[in-house]
A and B are shown apart, each in its own frame.
Chain A
Amino acid sequence: MSYLPKSDADRQAMLRAIGAESIDELFRSIPAEFRLRVPLKIPGPMAEAEIIGYFRDRAAENSVGYASFLGAGVYRHLRSVVADALLQRGEFLTAYTPYQAEISQGTLQWIFEFQTLICQLTGQEVANASMYDGSTALAEAVLMAERITGRRRVVTARTLHPEYRDVLETYAQHAGLEIESAGYGTSGQADLDALGSAVNDRTAAVVVQSPNFFGAIEQIPAVAEIAHAAGALLVVAITEAVSLGLLRPPAEADIVAMEGQSFGLPPSYGGPFAGVLATREKFVRQMPGRLAGQTTDAAGHRGFCLTLATREQHIRREKATSNICTNQALCALAMTMHLCLLGREGVREVAAQNLAKARYAARALAAVPGVKRAFTAPTFNEFVVRLAVPVDRVNGELLEDKIIGPLALAPFYGELDDCALVCVTETTTRAEIDRLAEGLRHILAREPATAGRAVKRTTGGD
C-alpha cells in the first residue's frame, strides 16, 4: 500500500522494540469477542489509475455537456486556475487549524485578509474565519441575535431561501425560538406590511435575503427601519455574493450571513462552500467561530494569532457561542485568492456582466409567447418566469436539447407551480441563452394540445 511507509521488517522491528509478540497484542484492550475475524466487505484496494477510472465513470453519469440555467443558491462562475494551483500547495492544503501561531502565519495572515475582504464586501465591521455554509451561518446569526437581544421570536421573509429556512428550523427546534414567516408581494419582495405587523417588542431578529430567492433585490433600509423600531436586529442573508460587486452593501444589517461559493468555488453538488458571518464590532463577543487578530512578537514584528477564543467550545464548552470547531478554511482561502485576483475592478466587472446577461436573457425569454415575468422588482442575475405550460414538461423537453432548464418553483412554493427561476451568470453564453429561448419557443408553440395535462415530474432532488 503506497500510503503506508513501513516494510514488514520495520513493523517486526518496532514490535520487538515495544516488547510485543504480535500486533494483536496492541489491541488487547478490545475484548476478543468484538475483534473482527473477517475482512471488511468494502470495495478495493484500487491503484491510483483505478480510482481515477471509477470517478471518471461516475462523472460520465452526470451532466457534462449540458447548458444549465440553475442557480438558487449555488452558482456557476468563472474561477481562475491560478487560485486553484495555489490552493493545492501542501502548506495550505495539509495544514491544521492555526493554533500554533509561529508555524501558521501563512494561514493566520490569509484569514486576517479574508476577514478584511468580507468586511469591505458586506459593509460590516467584523467577520469571522468562516462557517460551514450560508444556511448554517444564517442559523448561527439568528441564535446570535437571540443571545444579544434576549428575545425569542424571529420573523423571516418567505423570500428567504426555503432550504435556509429549513436549516434555521432545525437549529432552532430546541432553542425555544418561535419562527414566524411573512409573505411577499407582487413585486417578488418581502411584503413590508406583513413584516411590520409580524414584528413586535419580543422579536429578536428580522431575516431577509437580498437578492432574495426570486432574484429580487429587497428594500433593506425599509426592513431595517421595521426591525430597529421594535428593538430587533436585522439579519441579512446573501446567497449570491457576486451581487455585492454592484449592489450597495447591507450596511443597515446587524448581522450578515452569506454564502461565498460564488467567489471561486465550484458547485460541487452542494458543497463544500464558504459560509460567512459578519457583524458590528459591539457584537463580536457573541459571534461564533474562529477569529484571527493582529499582534506582535517580542521583537515587535507584526504577526497574527487566533483570538477571542473564550467564546468557543474548546474553552467555554456547554456555554460556548456555538459548537463549531472545524470550519471551511480552505474554501475561505479559495475565496480570498479569487477576490484578490479579481480585485476592485474585476469584482465590479463580473457583477456587471451578470446583470447584463440576465437582462439579455429576460428580454429574450419575455419575447417568447407563453413566457411572462412573474414579479416586478429589480433583479440581479436571477428572475422568475411564469410558463403557460407545466414547468416540468418544458424542462423535460429542454433536456433533449441538452439544456438544464430553469428551476421549477413548485416544490418550494406551492402557489408558484407554474413558475421557474432562471439564473444567468457571466459563464452563460449568449448562444446558450438564445438556445434556451429558441427551445422554449418551440415547446410552447406546440404545447397547447397538451397543456394542463398531468405530467410526471422529471426533476430530482427536491
Chain B
Amino acid sequence: MYPTEFRYTKEHEWVKLDGGIATVGITDYAQHELGDVVYVELPKPGAKVSAGQAFGTVESVKSVSEVYSPVSGEVVEVNAALGDSPEKINQDPHGEAWLVRIRAANAAEAAALMDAAAYQAYIAEKQKETSSG
C-alpha cells in the first residue's frame, strides 16, 4: 500500500526523491479521510516552497485540507491533469495523482521524514484514536 521508496510526513504527504527532484502527493490515508476530492489548488511552476509550509489545498465537498511541502525548493512542475480530474487523487494517490515536482534544495530534509513502516505505524495509531474518540 505505502511504497517503500517514499518518505512520509505527519500531515500525510508523501515525497519521492529522484536525482534532486522531489515528487509530492498526498497519501492514501489522506484521500480516504477527505472523501471524494472535488478540487485541487496548486502553486505555479517557479514558486518557492519551504519544508513544513502549505503550498496548496485539496478540497472535498465539505472540507478543505492544506498540503504542506515536505521539502524546500522550487516548484518545477505541477500536475495539470488534476484540474479536470480531481477524482484521480482518490483513485491513484501514490501514482498518477502526484501534485507537484520540486527541485529540492536539501535532500536531507526528505531523508529525515518517516519511512513506510513508520508511517503505517503512525496512521494505525491515528485510526485507534478516532475509533475510540
Query: Does a CB–CB distance below 8 Å link A and B in the complex?
Result: yes
Binding site for B on A (CB under 8 A): 285, 309-310, 315-316, 319
How far is A315 from B61 in the complex, measured between Cα atoms in Å? 10
Interface flag for B59 (CB, 8 Å): yes
Using an 8 Å CB-CB cutoff, how does the interface string of B49-82 with A read, 1 for contact, 0 for none? 0000000000111111000000000000000000
User: Considering residues B39, B61, B63, which has the most beta carbons from chain A within 10 angstroms of its beta carbon?
Assistant: B61
CB-defined contacts of A309 to chain B, threshold 8 Å: 61-62
How far is A310 from B62 in the complex, measured between Cα atoms in Å? 6
Binding site for A on B (CB under 8 A): 39, 41, 59-64
How far is A319 from B63 in the complex, measured between Cα atoms in Å? 12
User: Considering residues A285, A310, A316, A319, which has the most beta carbons from chain B within 10 angstroms of its beta carbon?
Assistant: A310
CB-defined contacts of B64 to chain A, threshold 8 Å: 310, 315-316, 319
How far is A315 from B59 in the complex, measured between Cα atoms in Å? 11
CB-defined contacts of A316 to chain B, threshold 8 Å: 64
CB-defined contacts of B59 to chain A, threshold 8 Å: 310
CB-defined contacts of B60 to chain A, threshold 8 Å: 310
Q: Knowing that A309-B61, A310-B60, A315-B64 are A-B contacts, what are 13 other residue pairs whose CB atoms are under 8 Å apart, sorted by A's residue number?
A: A285-B39, A285-B41, A309-B62, A310-B39, A310-B59, A310-B61, A310-B62, A310-B63, A310-B64, A315-B62, A315-B63, A316-B64, A319-B64
User: Which chain A residue shows the least CB distance to B63?
Assistant: A315
Q: How far is the CB of B56 from chain A (nearest CB, A)?
A: 13
CB-defined contacts of B39 to chain A, threshold 8 Å: 285, 310
How far is A285 from B57 in the complex, measured between Cα atoms in Å? 13
How far is A340 from B88 in the complex, measured between Cα atoms in Å? 42
16 A–B contacts from the bound complex (CB under 8 Å): A285-B39, A285-B41, A309-B61, A309-B62, A310-B39, A310-B59, A310-B60, A310-B61, A310-B62, A310-B63, A310-B64, A315-B62, A315-B63, A315-B64, A316-B64, A319-B64
How far is A309 from B63 in the complex, measured between Cα atoms in Å? 9
For the complex of A and B, list the 5 residue pairs with the smallest distance between their C-beta atoms, beginning with the closest.
A310-B59, A310-B64, A316-B64, A315-B62, A315-B64
User: Which chain A residue shows the least CB distance to B66?
Assistant: A319
CB-defined contacts of A285 to chain B, threshold 8 Å: 39, 41
CB-defined contacts of A315 to chain B, threshold 8 Å: 62-64
Q: How far is the CB of B54 from chain A (nearest CB, A)?
A: 11
User: Which chain A residue shows the least CB distance to B60?
Assistant: A310
CB-defined contacts of A319 to chain B, threshold 8 Å: 64
CB-defined contacts of B63 to chain A, threshold 8 Å: 310, 315
User: Which chain A residue shows the least CB distance to B61?
Assistant: A309
How far is A319 from B57 in the complex, measured between Cα atoms in Å? 12
User: Which chain B residue shows the least CB distance to A320?
Assistant: B64
User: Which chain B residue shows the least CB distance to A314?
Assistant: B62
How far is A319 from B62 in the complex, measured between Cα atoms in Å? 14
User: Which chain B residue shows the least CB distance to A317?
Assistant: B64
User: Which chain A residue shows the least CB distance to B65?
Assistant: A310
How far is A193 from B59 in the complex, measured between Cα atoms in Å? 44
User: Which chain A residue shows the least CB distance to B59?
Assistant: A310
User: Which chain B residue shows the least CB distance to A307?
Assistant: B61
